[in-house]
Amino acid sequence: MIELHLVLKAPPKRIRSLIEALQVLADSVRSEPGCLGVELYKSLIGPRCLCYDEFWESEADLCRMLTSHHFCQLATLMELASELPVCEFRFINQTYGLSFAEHVRGALP
């Protein structure tokens, strides 16, 4: 799984319109092949910080999205931010369940 994580600081008078635009974009990308989900939420970092996360099944799915009209729309919304946005692509290589916590806790003296 790969996560596109975006943090935008919205201009004071554009918070609502930016949220609405990101919601429309999120609704459209959810039906794309390989999209596992999309989340949009306000961040605790600051009063006008918005977080937008997309979760992709594979690197091929992510690359297809990056060359699509969808990403062009997302890039346009990034340009509306009042500060340089933070955009990260988080590649998750390994996932463990609760057995990992049990293993670590079992190793404690």
Q: What is the pLDDT of residues 55-108, one digit of tens each?
A: 999 989 998 899 999 999 999 999 999 999 989 998 877 667 768 777 777 765
At 39, which CATH number? 3.30.70.100
The crossing angle, in degrees rounded to 10, of helices 15-29 and 69-78 is: 160
Q: Which residues are within 8 A (CB) of 73 and not within 5 positions of it... i.e. 6 or more apart?
A: 25
Task: Kindly report the pTM of this predicted structure.
Answer: 0.82
The pLDDT of residue 50 = 95
Write out the residue range of the structural domain in which residue 15 sits: 2-106
Q: How many domains does the chain have?
A: 1
